[in-house]
Amino acid sequence: MNFIDMRTVVLEQACITLISALVAGLLFWHNRRRYKGIGLWMGAFLLQSTGIALLLLRGQIPDAVSIVFANVLNMSGFILLYAGFCRFWARPFSNRLNLAFFAVFVGIHGYFTFADPSLPIRSLNINFWIAVFFARCGWAVYSGAPEQLRPAARFPALAAAGFALVALARMGVILSGNACTDFFQSCPEDTFLFFLFQLLSALFTFGLFLMVNRRLLADTRADFEGRVEAQKALGGALKIARLGTWTWGVKSGRMNLSEEMRI
């Protein structure tokens, strides 16, 4: 028996993920020359939004597209998201490990779609990797941040940990035998957990927005303080060397001389 129309729930998730991609796109546009990795966040959210949209077409398009390819896009999004966080904080990461995880996921999903169709095992597969990659994302966000920016990184890291916990809870629902044989037939527990995914998606995106802006503010402040210190050092050096300076006011047409220039 349906608890709620799961197509509506999945459509909402696709829209939220698309909004996340738009927010990441704005962050990328304004910070593309300063920070690396944000473009990968945008790509990750776009892939996931597309994958979720394809899930909505299950039963209307071939299973190879609505099941396998759709979830391959989602998995690719997880990998891009993790890589984006590592690049954002200039943290090393292993592409080989990510590709190995990707190959295992695709192999399991393909086998239990065509050779031995099983929705519960496919659901276990996708939720397991959601838990793995969001746990890795949370750790990469928090541990990669400099000490002074850890408070800003804590919010998205906690949201990522929340994704991992909800994915594990969905695995528990499946293992308890409450899973349905139809993706769009929902039990109350699973639908509630899917709503938690939506809430976490919004919180996660908001956390990323705050984190980038707080890093930008901290870098701007550090740059300003560095220029002030450099100016003080230059002034001290000129004074010791007894070298003068002058400036020309374009609007006033006046020349301003330092004391050393007047000697």
State the amino acid at position 252 in one-letter form: S
* The pLDDT of residue 42: 96
Distance, CA of 166 to CA of 145 (rounded, Å):
25
Distance, CA of 240 to CA of 235 (rounded, Å):
9
Name the residue with tokens 């969001």: 134
Mean pLDDT of 5-17: 87
Higher pLDDT, 1 or 58: 58
* The pLDDT of residue 1: 46
Contact 51, 21 (CB under 8 A): no
Contact 201, 9 (CB under 8 A): no
Contacts of 157 (CB under 8 A, 6+ apart): 138, 139, 141, 142, 207
pLDDT tens for 75-104 read 999 999 999 999 999 998 888 999 999 999
Distance, CA of 254 to CA of 250 (rounded, Å):
8
pLDDT tens for 179-224 read 666 777 767 787 888 889 999 999 999 999 999 999 999 998 888 7
Residues found in the chain? 263
Mutual angle of helices 95-110 and 70-88, in 10-degree steps: 160
pLDDT tens for 148-173 read 999 999 999 999 999 999 999 999 98
